[in-house]
Amino acid sequence: MGRRVLILAAGIGSGHNIAAGVLESCFQTAPEVDAVQKLDILESTNEIYRMLYDDGYFALVEAAPWLVGWGYDESDAPFRLAQWVSLWDRINTTATAKAIKAFRPDIVVCTHFLPTRLMSLMLTRGVLEAKLEVVTTDYDFQGLWLSSPFNHIFVAREETKAHMAAIGVPADRITVSGIPVRPGLEDAVDRKAVLTRYGLRPDRPTLLISAGAAGGPYTQTIVQQTLRMRNEFQAVVVCGRNDQLKSQIEGLVAFNRDRYRVLGYTNDMPDLMRTASLFVGKPGGLSSSECMAAGLPMVLIHPIPGQEVRNSDFLLEEGAAVRCNYQTTVGYKIDQLLTEPDRITRMAECARQIGRPGAGPYITSAVLGDDSAPLWISQAAQKSVLASSERGIAAANLYAGRRVRTLIDAPTGMSAGVITTAQLDSLLPAKAESDSSGTNLSLSADQISSLRRRTEPGLMFTLRRILGKANDLKLQLSG
């Protein structure tokens, strides 16, 4: 029988589901896959839970963005989540857990941290046996994405991998893949044909002004500013699912219909991105990665504190974007860029250099080729990862007992678990075999059982999970 692949997202914004949809299409074309299902876990939860995570989040973004930034910073370190939050998630995702078990997946791919937490819990409790593959959808790593156990985590850039490895995550479990984007963004497009489709001219630079899927009210400010610009331009304004915003924008540009095209939600974004000269909007993970894949420079507006500010920092560092810190100078900043077409060309090239248009197929191939067993991080090691992240100290440089050590499965060479030096010391008297450097650890199931009385429960649990159905445990140590 072929593989059964379940892709889990959470509809907080549109990016996580777009990434999930890209992966769904890729897995559907893989010959070794028999069945693929995509599930937005919020759709199977109760209304209160759904509103708190989706509507509540965007209400906070609008009313108190500083609070969103504070929440992001508070949860930035891995394994910091309060126990009551996990309990709240568990209570409200009962139906989701039933749907997951009913599908009987061999592989679960998560494009949001909520289903990642749920899946780790199900694997820990032994109610499901499946590979857990985690696909992050922002340029920076955020601690909520890391759970135990998991098989593999896919990140957007090299610095993210370096950070995760420094705080104690085994490097062989981290792959730099980029964020899955819709296909064809890197391909040439008939620009004239796309512009003709919208009644626009090929001899003018084109602004693609995006309000996001929900339709941000700041879009009115952007359009008002562009009305006063000196340079020649034309604009496509995408208002998402906000019909009221679309009507308001149409009213604003009523006397400039030759220069503006106002759209609601559209599936034409890949063509528009390959046609436009500049993207004006927020640096969401998907929006940013699709612009980079298309070689489209960005003018960044109102990044949400936390992940979008981090995305913004990366894009600015790479020379692919400019950021508008004042609402009053958005038009001025765009005007400045339009007077420097060579600069826009350079920004477009910088965007292409960091774009990863093939992320979806790459991740699909890597997931299907992943033969690893789950990686288990002991509770003590989780505290060390947390301490390393909070203090900005590499996990290998924590004081002796809290340093992390990676258990490596000797036959495969893959990491199998992460424990602390103190936990390792408690195992050394029971070692059946040892080389002169003390880097080999071999324990039988009987020996592990004999450790029960003098070894902490968290370590025993980790060892039993690593041992699985085997009769002995032959590991090497790293770190």
Contact 108, 131 (CB under 8 A): yes
The CA distances from residue 189 to 186, 224, 433, in Å, are 9, 30, 63
- The domains of the chain, with CATH numbers, are 3-181+359-372 (3.40.50.2000), 191-354 (3.40.50.2000), 383-478 (no CATH)
State the DSSP code for 125: T
Residue 431 has a pLDDT of 52
pLDDT tens track for 330-343: 999 999 999 999 99
Mean pLDDT value of segment 84-96: 80
Mean pLDDT value of segment 108-131: 92
Would you call 142 helix, strand, or coil by DSSP? coil
pLDDT of 62 above 90? no
Partnered with residue 326 across adjacent β-strands are none
pLDDT tens track for 30-57: 999 999 999 998 888 877 777 777 667 7
Mean residue pLDDT across the chain: 88
Contact 40, 15 (CB under 8 A): no
pLDDT tens track for 285-322: 999 999 999 999 999 998 988 899 999 999 999 999 99
pLDDT tens track for 142-158: 999 999 999 999 999 99
Residue 274 has a pLDDT of 95
pLDDT tens track for 246-267: 999 999 999 998 999 999 989 8
Could you give the strand order of the β-sheet that contains 260-263, starting from the edge strand earlier in sequence?
260-263, 234-238, 206-210, 278-281, 298-301, 321-324
Residue 469 has a pLDDT of 60
| Contacting residues for 381 by C-beta, under 8 A, at least 6 apart | 168, 404, 418, 419, 420, 423
Q: How far apart (Å, rounded) are the C-alpha atoms in residues 37 and 476?
A: 38
Residue 435 has a pLDDT of 44
Could you give the strand order of the β-sheet that contains 107-110, starting from the edge strand earlier in sequence?
33-40, 3-9, 107-110, 131-135, 152-155, 174-176
Contact 442, 479 (CB under 8 A): no
Residue 437 has a pLDDT of 47
Residue in 271, 205, 213 with CA at minimum distance from that of residue 238: 213
**pLDDT bracket for residue 432 (50, 70, 90):** very low
Mapping DSSP onto H, E and C, the string for 4-64 reads: EEEEEECCCCCHHHHHHHHHHHHHHCCCCEEEEEEEEHHHHCCHHHHHHHCHHHHHHHHHC
Least confident interval from 96-110, 175-189, 220-234, 403-417: 403-417
pLDDT of 121 above 50? yes
Partnered with residue 134 across adjacent β-strands are 110, 153
